[in-house]
Structure 1
Amino acid sequence: MALELDELVNELQTAQVAASADLYAMPATRGQVRFWSLDQLNSGNPALNMPLMWQCDGALDVAVLTRAFAACVERHESLRTTFLLRDGQLMQLIHPHMPVPILLDDVSGCLGEERRQSSDRITRDHAAFRFDLARGPLLALRLIRLNESHHLLLVTMHHIICDGISNGILMRDMLEFYEAGVRGVAPQLPELPIQFADYAVWHEDWCNSEEHERSLDFWRNTLGRDAAPIALPTDADAPEHLPEHKKNATGDIQTLLLPSDLTQRALAYCAREGVTFNVLLFTVFSAMLSRATGRRDLTIGSPCANRSEETEELIGLFMNIQVLRAFVREDMSFRELLDAVNTWTLAAVEHQALPFEDLVHDPYFRGDNSLEIPIFFLYQKSFMVARRIATAEGSIHITPLRSESPGAVFDMMFAVVDREEEGPRLQLEFNPQLHRMDTVRGYLRLFVELMQSGLEDPTTAVDQLPVVSDEARAVVGRGSSTHAPAVQRIAMQESTVDHQRYIAPRDVLERQLAEIWQTTLGIERIGVESSFFSLGAGSLAALRLVTRMNRTFSMEIGLAGLVGAPTIAAVAGLIRRRVSARSESSLVALKPEGTREPLFIVHGVGGNVISFYGLARRIGVDRPVYGIQAQALLPGKPALLRMQDLAQFYIAEMRALQPSGPYHLLGYSFGGTLALEMARQLRAAGQQVAMLGMLDSRTRKFDEEQRSGFSTQEKAHQRVDRLRGNTETLSVEARRSYIASKLHTRAIRYAAAAAATLGFRTLPAWFKDANEINLVAINRYVPKPYEGALMLFRARDQDFPNAALELGWKDVIRGGIEIREVDGNHERLFLEPGIDALAAYLNEALR
């Protein structure tokens, strides 16, 4: 024990960050957590994509283009980053390499309208690409060949790894690599001083500083209380006006170019008043919202770059959201509103580093004072510029085009994009299921006319600024109908408070859950019927809560599950439905329906069978499926220490359900070896084993042989890296708790090993840990030859990719081994998309 403690303490003290070509993990930023949380509610949600489209005219070299993008992926770590939730914390996983192919669609054989329709369909499909944040890559490329000298290049990134400025950086760097490639010269790009993960570490430190607290105080004082969201009136008949190809669309973009003479007058006015063009545009937008909704108290979100000199060349999610609260008094002039917006903006710039998530999840903004911001405004200089590249075959001209909207995230995203070649263009992203196109055009016309009126006479009251066009007047005429939602919001809050009367836990399970909720969320008392979403907790707290519940009750609830079961009572119901009614048995009915012989799936080293639910539900409707959970998990029973005894115990329970063969056995990881011993004993008893399957199981001898190639120093580094990865984000107190936990579990392992060495076959019921006991059992087990066949389902991504495909079973299995590879790694076999292929293989084997 003392030796183990010294080893652990020494590892903590000597852990160093070492340069390595291997994958490494860093904490995610608050902004990344926001997008990850949104994705969990709708996995692969295309509304979180940032699609781009470039027109390429000339002789395009696709091979050089592919290498150019590969060089960008090598240059920017964000482009080879995926995300993993570990112990309640979202981590960035930076991969050493990540291939990003370019899919080619050749429509050159199509004619006229058919070609246009085909390219439009491909463009829409690509904008709606569904990314897997855990697998990556989070950059998708597609090339449409219209003819030999005319291509459309589609580039889509997930917002979790990029922002608007990142789009321009990617295009610039890719074109630099492409031009260097076609000319056969070295690219002229400076070395990046840092990567996004370095910024993430710095920003996490900043979020724990006094400056962070001062910024939080600023926003509390500045935003004040009772900031109600703006409710835009919707068009009930909007879906009826959609063309056939947009019937299911949830996002669209309408634009309008500001007249050049109006732009020049606006810039001159800004120079005279000493304000930026952004402030003027934001003022006009505030006036437009007030006139369109009838609201005088406006709370508007505005993305800001949040970049410094060190980060201006990086691809990454630096963008932050600031909040403007503007009050448009009844007699307030356009110039007075401009001054108010300017004052607000100047003060906000000094506090732009505060993560938006910290603001909305601050206890000050809970309950009736919560910040709900469905309306956003953005002004930005265009990062996408046309470029001509000379090649040996002539030249190629690359021009950015307007891309498709993958889906509207907010009620209104109003942007002004200032392009060098044309000037400022208004751009309104909206949900076409809620707003007709003529309504959207009305908003854009209203903006232009209010800008014209305000510049002509800035002393005019905002309410009296002239509006002349029918489209703009139609929008203003809708404003009086938007007062009702604010009243409805107040009434809803009052009824919610009444609904949230405290209801105490009614049984042991609800008491356990209440303890978890209260300690995780930092709330002294939570009733079993109180909704999580009424408690003022944010996405980070939701992650911690879901992780603790999953770990405690062997569940896989997920954030979407929390939406469906947002109370303690509802979660307790989920847990009760998951637990087998036969609490004295290791058999868990995962899918008891069916008339054929059951499939029995043996647990992994951890002992539970929750991970098998998704697979069981994909097995044929006529085949029952039972999980075999660890005997060490059964209450009040001594834990068995030998694989042979475990197999005998599980066989007895199986035969109580199915007295005779044929038997179908499947084991995951550790469970594969145990299923082998069960099959051997069944055959020795004269029973037929129709199928023995293993899910990525390896022999102990195989593991030892593979690891024998590592030097002592490499093994030490692996232990240090593993320990550091588990503790680097923990406080000193949490690290002590971690060490204590490790010592406790290792003490059980040593006790179990000692008991087994002395000939004991069980451990007392009170001294049990399924994981440690199973490790002792398998480490003392030597499998005997098996005369039957084996179906081995092998994860494609292996720790030892060059090792034998049969994972060490060739010398044990005498009846032949059939191997099926499944996408994913050892821990992702039960997740999409691998689980679908696995189920298909299993159903085929079970026929």
Structure 2
Amino acid sequence: ALHGLGLRRPEVVLNVLPGAAGGFRVADHPRRRLTEALTVNVFVGESRVEYTADPARFDPREVHRRLEAGLAALRAAELGGVGDAPRRALERAHGPLERVLPLSPPQEGLLFHALSAPEGADPYALAMRVDLEAAEEIDLPRLEAAWEGVLDRHPTLRAGFNATATEHPRQFVPRSRPATFRAVDARPLGDAWRDLAEHLLREEENRRVDVAAPPLVRATAVRYAPRRACLIVAGHHLLTDGWSTGIMLRELAGLYGGEELPPAPQPEAFLDWVDGRREPDRRAWRAYLGDNAPRTLLAAPGTEDAAGEEALDVGVAGEADALVAAARAAGATPAELLQVAWAYVLSELTGCEGEVPAEVVCGVTASGRPPQLPEAAEMIGLFATTLPARIAVSGDPVADLRAHHAARAELADHTAVSPADIGAAGLFDTIVVYENAPAPRSQGALRVTATEAVGQTHYPITVVSRPGGDFDVALAFRPGLVDRERARWAARRLGQALRAFLGEPLEPARPPAPAAPAAPRSQGAEGAPAEYEQAAPEQPVPAVPTAPAAPRATAEGIAAAMSTVLGHTVGLDEDFAEAGGHSLLAVRLLGRLQREGIELGMGDILAGGSPRGIAARLGGQPASGPLVAHTVGAPTLWCMPPGDGIHAPWARLARQVPVRLRAVSWAGRIEQDALDQAAQDVAALIRAEQPHGPYLLLGWSFGGVLAHAVAHALGGPGEVSFLGIVDSYPAGVLPAGLSPGHDPTPLVDGLVGLDDHPEVLRELVAENLAASGRLMAGAAPLGWDGSVHLVVGTRGAEASGPAAWDPAAAWAGAGARVVSLEVDEDHFGLVKDAGWRIVGPFFAQAIATIQEEEHDH
């Protein structure tokens, strides 16, 4: 009949059937000729799917994998309560999604810390160096395929996190992703490849991660010999733990060698297990903690945190075998022995060692991989969880170790909780981590010869036994929360406490008194410390328009949102935490308020406390914390790189402008032959994330020239509502005195912080500066029939550029309507702190005005 109507025979047939009636079904001969390329029968009543696929058209294994993945995604959506409306909300924010998943208990707590972390490097960003050796000459395209294969197998490695689009925070996996692998051939550098690898590792360690913009993992392969490469892996603790990293490296080597790996277990099985265990596990932990668990906090209330973490070696690696034997003799584990030793030190640091009975609480890590779910051992994700340990300090370390082991044994199967679940979030601020990881491959086409991982936590002190050997113990501390003298004392004392298990006496000792906490620094309208404000040059500074004082209705609206989240009425002056709020509920409150259109960050909730306090913060100054830059739906300011292609001096500006900020940079050498080619490449990158205008662009130095060209590539003034230029000429116009062969050395020397970087980077910067000079010299002039907000440095232009420097005249000559600001700084000082104090408000005011005009229209 189909042919009679002139229609094509269908190639794909989908039958949705209510179920087999009385066991009746059609039985086809297995050798029946397939008349369709693919037939799928869904038996709704039986929850069963059958399919037949023409092997000449489809790979049956791929069909099976995709069906399983689709069903798993539906199961995950059902499990997480992700209905159509929340999924649509997430897809509006992030595009088409492969799957949406709930968060595991450890992820819930970690997301809160990621959102509330102070500005600077994300304490839970991960970076790792992996030394690789191939049996034959290393094949970088093959290594890239293996890396992408690992990400294909494990959707959690491709996930991002959204705390605002839906009632509960979700992790989501986009259907597509940009490349996450890049390769650098460092063989021409000789031994200087080590400097490059070290620089890349530290750059990844200190980066700020937007957890709502996946992928959060990426890799850079630095090839330095025919058979050897160094892989720099960047990730985030929200996605992986130490055990998962071992699985990832093992699979990377296997896929590189062409192995046929078994299907990877998917996260839904674990999340299903958590869903069934969470309530009984919560009851078990609350019974363990009781109503009298001591609060053991090391950092003084209100102490300022500081970026970065320092580590001190405890110095017991030589006694590792004896310590392992001592733990086993007591019927305990090495990890539990380390935990009890730290409890002794902690009791002295907090002054409770003389109490009877003395007891402390610290956090200890558990694998989080339930033995009842064997496939969890092969899953990649964040399973490791930090939970409280009540440890008695009686003066008999071995007896205390046995008691601690007995208590932990009763709780070993109860890990489907977070500290917030069990009311333990405020009980401790130090943790003990005993890391384990699968051993790397020692044979095969590709093997791992060494690894080095760097990372931090938000805790004042973290005691960690690093993987690769027992009792390789370090004490990591945050200098803004624990002064160095006490940290050094604690590291030495921990070594003594560990040796007490070997029979050495542990004589009483008193730690150094804690340093007086620094007085909290007042914040100016830009979020800058008060001393910054006082040191500002005496010249007019454009004011940033601030929101009007929050009306009472705003405070009442915040109170209503708090009441909904907490499940009871909250007064205007009632503190969120005192009303029963904890980290998980704070994330939900943040999402609810942002969905109502209130621009705020987690820092505003924590600092404001009450509805009235939060409303006052929103009325008087910008929302604190990094989340302001990542508000769902907020416009993006795209910042172009300077001529070196590497530096992104935008961190302070990100705190000042009322939009989120994204920095564009080159992965290595500038390889484009023409400015318009570079502009098209950047425009494609921008459109991949922001398909439509209006666009906001900014550039400094060569980046200003590039921003002008990118603005044309994006459609000109009709699509670009803001073009900000810092000390740059328009495309195709060279300042007098600057030639294509201009010596880049003064620019190399002037770049921010470059003196601290290795020589190989100076060479790369010099090459890129020369390349960007050629791009500028070869560019055709481009006009601009729109506004340009231009900043010009008036101090010492001849020291870092040509003698005749007049960008304002050049932009006016290009047809632009120039709104300019002259600042008494040189070319490089404009993008340092002193310069941004003046430049930031100028751009912030311009962008705010443009947004108001667009809103009115």
Normalised to the residue count of structure 2, the TM-score between the two structures is 0.53
2:454 corresponds in structure 1 to 404
Separation in structure 2 between the aligned mates of residue 234 and residue 478 of structure 1, nearest angstrom = 22
Shift of 1:73: 0.7
Q: Residues 158 and 100 from structure 1, CA distance in 2 versus in 1: closer, same or farther, beyond 3 angstroms?
A: farther
Letter in 2 for 1:289: L
Please say if 1:465 is aligned against 2:506: yes
What is the DSSP-based 3-state SS (H/G/I as helix, E as strand, rest coil) of the residue aligned with 1:160? Answer: coil
Flag the structure with larger Rg.
1
**Match of residue 69, structure 1, among 144, 147, 166:** 147
1:288 corresponds in structure 2 to 345
Separation in structure 2 between the aligned mates of residue 351 and residue 616 of structure 1, nearest angstrom = 46
1:250 corresponds in structure 2 to 308
Separation in structure 1 between the aligned mates of residue 303 and residue 558 of structure 2, nearest angstrom = 43
Native 8 Å contact 1:252 1:408 kept in 2: no
2:234 corresponds in structure 1 to 156
**Match of residue 272, structure 1, among 307, 323, 329:** 329
Normalised to the residue count of structure 1, the TM-score between the two structures is 0.54
What is the DSSP-based 3-state SS (H/G/I as helix, E as strand, rest coil) of the residue aligned with 2:450? Answer: strand
1:699 corresponds in structure 2 to none
Separation in structure 1 between the aligned mates of residue 556 and residue 122 of structure 2, nearest angstrom = 39
Native 8 Å contact 1:46 1:128 kept in 2: yes
Please say if 1:31 is aligned against 2:106: yes
**Match of residue 353, structure 1, among 393, 397, 416:** 416
Taking the TM superposition and a 5 Å limit, the aligned residue runs for 1:402-551 are 402-405=452-455, 407-417=456-466, 419=468, 423-432=470-479, 443-456=490-503, 465-466=506-507, 476-478=509-511, 481=513, 507-526=552-571, 528-551=572-595
Separation in structure 1 between the aligned mates of residue 590 and residue 307 of structure 2, nearest angstrom = 32
Native 8 Å contact 1:270 1:276 kept in 2: yes
Shift of 1:78: 0.6
1:567 corresponds in structure 2 to 610
1:573-625 CA-to-partner distances (Å, cap 9, x unmatched) read 467789xxxxxxxxxxxxxxxxxxxxxxxxxxxxxx9967887999xx9xxx9
Taking the TM superposition and a 5 Å limit, the aligned residue runs for 1:740-779 are none
**Match of residue 385, structure 2, among 320, 329, 352:** 320
1:784-807 CA-to-partner distances (Å, cap 9, x unmatched) read xxxxxx99xxxxxxxxxxxxxxxx
Native 8 Å contact 1:426 1:444 kept in 2: no
Shift of 1:127: 1.8
What is the DSSP-based 3-state SS (H/G/I as helix, E as strand, rest coil) of the residue aligned with 1:518? Answer: helix
Separation in structure 2 between the aligned mates of residue 170 and residue 204 of structure 1, nearest angstrom = 26
Native 8 Å contact 1:266 1:277 kept in 2: yes
What is the DSSP-based 3-state SS (H/G/I as helix, E as strand, rest coil) of the residue aligned with 2:444? Answer: strand
1:204 corresponds in structure 2 to 275
Native 8 Å contact 1:81 1:136 kept in 2: yes
Q: Residues 107 and 204 from structure 1, CA distance in 2 versus in 1: closer, same or farther, beyond 3 angstroms?
A: same
Separation in structure 2 between the aligned mates of residue 413 and residue 115 of structure 1, nearest angstrom = 32
Letter in 2 for 1:321: T
Native 8 Å contact 1:82 1:136 kept in 2: yes
Letter in 2 for 1:398: V
**Match of residue 380, structure 1, among 429, 435, 440:** 435
What is the DSSP-based 3-state SS (H/G/I as helix, E as strand, rest coil) of the residue aligned with 2:472? Answer: strand
Native 8 Å contact 2:298 2:349 kept in 1: no
Q: Residues 160 and 197 from structure 1, CA distance in 2 versus in 1: closer, same or farther, beyond 3 angstroms?
A: farther
Native 8 Å contact 2:317 2:472 kept in 1: no
Q: Residues 483 and 437 from structure 1, CA distance in 2 versus in 1: closer, same or farther, beyond 3 angstroms?
A: closer
1:524-546 CA-to-partner distances (Å, cap 9, x unmatched) read 442x2333344341233223323
**Match of residue 195, structure 1, among 266, 275, 286:** 266
1:195-242 CA-to-partner distances (Å, cap 9, x unmatched) read 1134224423433x4x24532442342x62442323499999xx9xxx
Question: RMSD value over aligned CA atoms?
Answer: 4.8
Shift of 1:357: 2.5
Q: Quick check: 559-568 or 59-68, which moved more?
A: 559-568
What is the DSSP-based 3-state SS (H/G/I as helix, E as strand, rest coil) of the residue aligned with 1:39? Answer: helix
Separation in structure 2 between the aligned mates of residue 412 and residue 215 of structure 1, nearest angstrom = 27
What is the DSSP-based 3-state SS (H/G/I as helix, E as strand, rest coil) of the residue aligned with 2:257? Answer: helix
Separation in structure 2 between the aligned mates of residue 14 and residue 540 of structure 1, nearest angstrom = 38
Separation in structure 2 between the aligned mates of residue 564 and residue 235 of structure 1, nearest angstrom = 13
Separation in structure 2 between the aligned mates of residue 409 and residue 68 of structure 1, nearest angstrom = 33
Shift of 1:111: 5.8
In structure 2, runs of 5+ residues without a counterpart are 1-43, 48-69, 74-95, 354-358, 518-549, 622-630, 641-652, 659-689, 695-715, 722-784, 787-842
Q: Residues 568 and 669 from structure 1, CA distance in 2 versus in 1: closer, same or farther, beyond 3 angstroms?
A: farther
Please say if 1:102 is aligned against 2:167: no
Separation in structure 1 between the aligned mates of residue 204 and residue 302 of structure 2, nearest angstrom = 28
Letter in 1 for 2:129: M
Taking the TM superposition and a 5 Å limit, the aligned residue runs for 1:717-796 are none
Separation in structure 2 between the aligned mates of residue 612 and residue 267 of structure 1, nearest angstrom = 54
Native 8 Å contact 1:30 1:357 kept in 2: no
Native 8 Å contact 1:233 1:482 kept in 2: no
Shift of 1:455: 2.1
Shift of 1:257: 5.8
Letter in 2 for 1:124: R
Shift of 1:304: 0.4
Please say if 1:228 is aligned against 2:289: no
What is the DSSP-based 3-state SS (H/G/I as helix, E as strand, rest coil) of the residue aligned with 1:323? Answer: strand
Letter in 2 for 1:49: A
What is the DSSP-based 3-state SS (H/G/I as helix, E as strand, rest coil) of the residue aligned with 1:154? Answer: strand
1:304 corresponds in structure 2 to 366
1:472-504 CA-to-partner distances (Å, cap 9, x unmatched) read xxxx5425x36999xxxxxxxxxxxxxxxxxxx
Shift of 1:451: 2.6
Separation in structure 1 between the aligned mates of residue 301 and residue 556 of structure 2, nearest angstrom = 44
Separation in structure 1 between the aligned mates of residue 209 and residue 551 of structure 2, nearest angstrom = 42
1:340 corresponds in structure 2 to 403
Q: Residues 572 and 465 from structure 1, CA distance in 2 versus in 1: closer, same or farther, beyond 3 angstroms?
A: closer
What is the DSSP-based 3-state SS (H/G/I as helix, E as strand, rest coil) of the residue aligned with 1:424? Answer: coil
Native 8 Å contact 1:230 1:298 kept in 2: no
Shift of 1:551: 4.0
1:54 corresponds in structure 2 to 130
Letter in 1 for 2:99: Y
**Count of residue pairs brought into register by the alignment:** 526
Separation in structure 1 between the aligned mates of residue 413 and residue 377 of structure 2, nearest angstrom = 18
1:653 corresponds in structure 2 to none
1:550-573 CA-to-partner distances (Å, cap 9, x unmatched) read 444x32324234245433224444
Please say if 1:40 is aligned against 2:115: yes
More helix by share: 1
Separation in structure 2 between the aligned mates of residue 64 and residue 617 of structure 1, nearest angstrom = 33
Shift of 1:176: 1.1
Shift of 1:693: 5.7
Native 8 Å contact 2:466 2:473 kept in 1: yes
Letter in 2 for 1:425: D
Separation in structure 1 between the aligned mates of residue 486 and residue 554 of structure 2, nearest angstrom = 52
Native 8 Å contact 1:299 1:323 kept in 2: yes
Shift of 1:165: 1.1
Identity among equivalent positions (%) equals 19
Separation in structure 1 between the aligned mates of residue 196 and residue 45 of structure 2, nearest angstrom = 59
Native 8 Å contact 1:70 1:99 kept in 2: no
In structure 1, runs of 5+ residues without a counterpart are 1-12, 181-185, 240-247, 391-395, 458-463, 468-475, 486-504, 579-608, 627-667, 673-689, 696-789, 792-834
**Match of residue 599, structure 2, among 553, 556, 576:** 556
Native 8 Å contact 2:314 2:494 kept in 1: no
Native 8 Å contact 1:382 1:417 kept in 2: no
1:290-314 CA-to-partner distances (Å, cap 9, x unmatched) read 3455433321100101113131100
Separation in structure 1 between the aligned mates of residue 477 and residue 450 of structure 2, nearest angstrom = 22
Letter in 1 for 2:450: P
Separation in structure 1 between the aligned mates of residue 228 and residue 421 of structure 2, nearest angstrom = 47
